Structure 1
Amino acid sequence: MAGDSRFPDVDTDGSENSEEMEIVVNVGGVRQVFYGDNLNQYPETRLAELVNCLSGGYDSIFSLCDDYDPGKREFYFDRDPDAFKCIIDVYYFGEIHMKKGICPICFKNEMEFWKVDLKFLDDCCKAHLSEKKEELEEIARRVQLILDDLGIDASESRWKRCQKCIWKFLEKPESSYPARVIAVLSFLFILISSVVMCVGTIPDLQVIDAEGNRMEHPTLESIETACIGWFTMEYVLRLISSPNKLHFAFSFMNIVDVLAILPFYISLTLTHLGAKLMELSNVQQAVQALRIMRIARIFKLARHSSGLQTLTYALKRSFKELGLLLMYLAVGIFVFSALGYTMEQSHPETLFKSIPQSFWWAIITMTTVGYGDIYPKTTLGKLNAAISFLCGVIAIALPIHPIINNFVRYYNKQRVLETAAKHELELMELNSAEGKAAGSRSELEDPSREGKEGPFYSSRIKVSHSDTFIHLLSEEKHYRTRLQSCK
């Protein structure tokens, strides 16, 4: 390269001090002038290496940049100029801020190219980068799950393949039409069981046993038994087919499933065997207490409802706002109940007997329920009540907006991630089709390849032309994907 007539010889006498040297960097058409004293503050970065690369010849220069003009001493880079303008702030301010609209993952890749450590990125930008990383990991997880469902490993045993089929059948309603039918049936059984539990408490539908006690109608008990049988069979099959049984057993929704099933069997055991060990009245009380636990089965609906799952996540993310709401209400309840008790003591027929009793009045007043069982009778007491429910409305309204925003943000994010995962699969299918077409063309052009299986197809399906990385989908570092949220 040193003898190439296109480039004059590089000055290697070292006569110019690197601290005073001036270099010109052209990034995507944007020219910037730098001085060695600024760049050498961070000698590990690529720009600082440019200052000292001239003495190493063209091999050293072109290992750092895409092109070089010796006459102007100008280095050319085919990189993002907007990201570069942000990155060079580290040489002047000691920290970096991302501009709005730049993809955080692409910006991270740019920082790695310019060899600038991520520790110089401001905390607010790091949080944005972490959020995008989580999105990429979630997309990779979803795509991998879909690929696992589509792929069939012939080397696996028949039992393993049967386990996968049962797991898809019960856990993934979108995998096939029969799986959707099973999901609908499970949903209906949950509704029927909940309705039977409620209807069974109506006195007109209950029957009298030999001891004169009321009990559920036998028909309702038969329906309840059928529903519990379905829940038990479903849980056992899911447990047997689960790829990770320990994680399955301690999952929140599966614990809910167990709590919905166990009361039936424990009640059945106590009814038939408990009478021999304890008094009949104690057995009946224990059975009644266990029957109350049947309300847990209503939470099984969350398994089939993405809306309930989103609501649960939004509430989890809104603990701070909910804590503020409870704190506001607690302070208001204490203050207004104490004022109400003090102001109502002058009335001979006061309903405020004590401050703890006044807590109930303050709660139903600040939440605008107002049962009317306790109410003020004096003028000052009524004024105190008016102020208390006005403050209650304000206290409840303040945190509602952030909670709604958390719900909408999470719901929209899930839709974006789902769309991005589908887009990634479509892109992989497209690349796979292109790989097959290119492979067939090469076989036609090269007869010697007939009957041989080249590596082109396997490598082609792993590459998609885009600007962000998902390392989780492949062990190879060159795998690229197109993330819709980064556009």
Structure 2
Amino acid sequence: MDTKENVTINMSGTRFEVSEETWLTIKSNLYDTHGPEKTSKLFAKKMLNMLDTDESNRTHDKIYLDRRRRGNDLGAVQAAVWSVLEEPSSGQLAKDTSQLYKTTKAGDLFFERHPSCFPVVLGYFQNRGLHMPSSLCPSEFNDEMEFWGIRSDKIAKCCYSRYVAFFDDQNVLKILDQDQMARKEERKEIERRQRGAGWRALEANVWSVLEEPSSSTLAKIYFYVSTVFVVVSISALVSGTHKTFKRPLNLQEWHEFFGDEFDLYKAHFDGSDLSNTTVPPLPKTATHLDFLVYLEYVTVTFFTIELIMRIIFCPFKRKFFLSFLNLVDIFALLVMYSKYVVNAISPKEKYQASVFDIVHCLQIVRVFRLFRLVKNYIGFRVLLYSVKASAKEVMLMSMFLVVAMLMFGAFAFFSGDTVFESIPDAFWWAVVTMTTVGYGDVYPTIGLSKLVGAVCAVTGVCLLAVIIPIFVNNFLLFYAYSKVWGSSIGEEEKRKTSVSPIAVNLESSSALPEKDDNN
């Protein structure tokens, strides 16, 4: 242009009038961002989108391919377009940035971009800063910035935190997305096998009963029965430790307890007078009530049969043996059978404390079976996702806690307070103080140790206040997203049982008359 005139930019129907200097700056930025080669690829991708969609309503496009014509020359056109996309140095479809926009009859420069975002972009090129509109999704705003060639670090500080927080949340949500996609693919595979025949169909049907309580009435019945056995198993374990559910040993059990030494205690059972004898007293011991023992046998039998069936009918064997809950089931059964083996080898171990008590302690792992009852509930999965997403923060908090424990434990010991007999004893006090529990079993008694205790308590509060909200935020983020995901699943199920309007549109559009290219 010989004379400087304003340039009118039409942004999807919304017109903006800018100076020629501003337009040249924008155009230069577009050229640096896209360039001849990148612009060619952008235009080629647009052509591919046009080839894959119905363009009968877009009269301003020069390319028109209706459904009948696609069947003839679509392959050749697509091959030409893909050649542009696959050749890095190709310039067949563009030589400058003019292919990013169109010039209308009125002389406007027409861009098919978001009209609400362009004022922000225009403000940046006019040196007024880059602010993200509150009504615009950060992801869409990022796409616009990439198109106009603006780096994310150019965003104003007042908006940058919201921009970064959005993409941080998206990275965190990838955990949920990946897991849900894997579960969805698994479910599709099961449904595909159920429609078949033979062993694979039987395997899929039985696995649905064992794994998906909502799949059928039989699956619900199995779920309730399994729940009863889990509750009974844990109740028997807990009740067996209370004196109400214990009884004295009978004669046969005393025989098992003493073994070859039974003759030394025989006088306690044959009615002999023990007042003038040197018979040693009976040890204080008891055993579980009989019905608890029978309940244990029944539950162990049920869980053994269940585990065998799950292994046989699981369509994904490798994943089965990598699942935490399945490993818990296997370990819990191994503990129970190890206990029976130990008791068979040495019956006395059933009635007294010994080194084999560690086997009995491991029975507590059966409590983890409760997780199987709730593993299909979204709230439980959200909690697991939150823990997984917050693993780094939890590790960081643990490291700070250990460092603070070492530091304040040593300070408390060297303060001269006799309450702290050693540094390891002071460690216990430091942990209890920093976590604001304060049992009161150990506490400072002199001025210097009290000062250390005050600083220790304040440090612990600040540490927890900084780290815990991260976990809470992740939980709320996952929970909110899970609601959206759950709604989408429900809509998908509804669509499966109804006629798709898109399918109806495609069928009806295929009957349209062929478009005349001369019009």
Alignment TM class, shorter chain as reference: 0.5 to 0.7
Quote the offset at 1:263 in angstroms: 0.6
Alignment of structure 1 residues 210-289 onto 2, 5 Å: 210=254, 211=257, 214-272=286-344, 274-275=345-346, 285=354, 287-289=356-358
Per-residue deviation, residues 12-59 of structure 1 (Å, max 9, x unmatched): xxxx99xx9x98653311346744644432323449999xxxxxxx77
In structure 2, the residue matched to 1:80 is 114
TM-score, normalised via structure 2 length: 0.62
In 2, the alpha carbon distance for the partners of 1:39 and 1:229 equals 72
1:297 to 348, 366, 369: 366
Contact 1:39 1:47 in 2 (8 A): no
In 2, the alpha carbon distance for the partners of 1:65 and 1:241 equals 57
Quote the offset at 1:100 in angstroms: 5.5
> For 1:40, what is the secondary structure of its paired residue?
helix
1:185 to 225, 232, 249: 225
In structure 2, the residue matched to 1:326 is 398
- Does structure 1 residue 195 correspond to structure 2 residue 235? yes
Contact 2:328 2:369 in 1 (8 A): yes
In structure 2, the residue matched to 1:30 is 14
Alignment of structure 1 residues 353-432 onto 2, 5 Å: 353-432=421-500
- How many residue pairs get aligned? The number is 407
In 2, the alpha carbon distance for the partners of 1:140 and 1:418 equals 13
1:410 partner letter: F
Cα 1:390–1:76 change in 2 (3 A) is: closer
In structure 2, the residue matched to 1:485 is none
Per-residue deviation, residues 357-408 of structure 1 (Å, max 9, x unmatched): 3323333344344444434443444454455445444443442222222222
In structure 1, the residue matched to 2:86 is none
Per-residue deviation, residues 212-260 of structure 1 (Å, max 9, x unmatched): 6644333212111211222222222222221110111111121111112
In structure 2, the residue matched to 1:40 is 31
Measured on the aligned residues, the alpha-carbon RMSD in Å equals: 4.8
2:14 partner letter: V
In 2, the alpha carbon distance for the partners of 1:320 and 1:250 equals 22
Structure 2 unaligned spans of 5+:
44-61, 64-92, 156-162, 259-284, 512-519
In 1, the alpha carbon distance for the partners of 2:323 and 2:431 equals 36
In 1, the alpha carbon distance for the partners of 2:177 and 2:425 equals 54
In 1, the alpha carbon distance for the partners of 2:219 and 2:125 equals 59
Contact 1:200 1:206 in 2 (8 A): no
In 2, the alpha carbon distance for the partners of 1:260 and 1:128 equals 38
In 2, the alpha carbon distance for the partners of 1:431 and 1:328 equals 58
Contact 1:351 1:375 in 2 (8 A): yes
In 2, the alpha carbon distance for the partners of 1:120 and 1:380 equals 49
In 2, the alpha carbon distance for the partners of 1:37 and 1:160 equals 61
Which moved further from structure 2: 163-172 or 36-45?
Answer: 36-45
In 2, the alpha carbon distance for the partners of 1:108 and 1:341 equals 56
In 2, the alpha carbon distance for the partners of 1:340 and 1:179 equals 59
Quote the offset at 1:415 in angstroms: 2.0
In 1, the alpha carbon distance for the partners of 2:324 and 2:125 equals 50
- Does structure 1 residue 69 correspond to structure 2 residue 104? yes
> For 1:174, what is the secondary structure of its paired residue?
coil
1:40 partner letter: Y
2:115 partner letter: P
In 2, the alpha carbon distance for the partners of 1:201 and 1:101 equals 61
Quote the offset at 1:410 in angstroms: 1.8
Contact 1:142 1:421 in 2 (8 A): no
In structure 1, the residue matched to 2:409 is 337
In 2, the alpha carbon distance for the partners of 1:431 and 1:84 equals 40
In 2, the alpha carbon distance for the partners of 1:338 and 1:167 equals 57
Structure 1 unaligned spans of 5+:
1-15, 51-57, 446-487
TM-score, normalised via structure 1 length: 0.66
Per-residue deviation, residues 38-83 of structure 1 (Å, max 9, x unmatched): 4432323449999xxxxxxx7779x9589753562x4545553346
